[in-house]
Amino acid sequence: MKPCNSCQAVIDEYTLDKQLEPLRDLTVDNFNVCAECTTVVSDACVECGGGVYVPRGFSTVPDYCPACRSDLIERTGHDPGWNCDTIST
């Protein structure tokens, strides 16, 4: 059993798995934090309509889920960041 990177609690993989259900591609293996420290917002991804993962310390809800973000990085060769309305100067 792995401890949570954030609060040091033992990660309950069953609970975390339930929490991650709205997300594409991500599983408990991709996380080093427990369900308590994980924020998932359902139906928030602008690309696939799936759930997004809110990184720790992030105050707004991302527009892309991690899977779509890495798709975009692969397609365009650059990282769009978490939000699609990020203004590039």
Take residue 26 and report the two structure tokens written for it. 């991500």
Six-digit token pair at 63?
A: 């527009």
Asked if residue 12 binds Zn ion (CB under 5 A), the reply is no
Residues whose CB is less than 8 angstroms from the CB of residue 7 and which lie 6 or more positions away in sequence, other chains included = 33, 34, 36, 37
Q: Which is nearer to Zn ion, 38 or 89 (CB)?
A: 38
Q: Which of residues 45-64 bind Zn ion (CB under 5 A)?
A: 45, 47-48, 50
Residue 13 near Zn ion by CB under 5 A: no
| C-beta separation of 51 from 23 below 8 A | yes
Q: How far is the CB of 86 from Zn ion (least distance, A)?
A: 16
> Is the CB of 8 or the CB of 89 nearer to Zn ion?
8
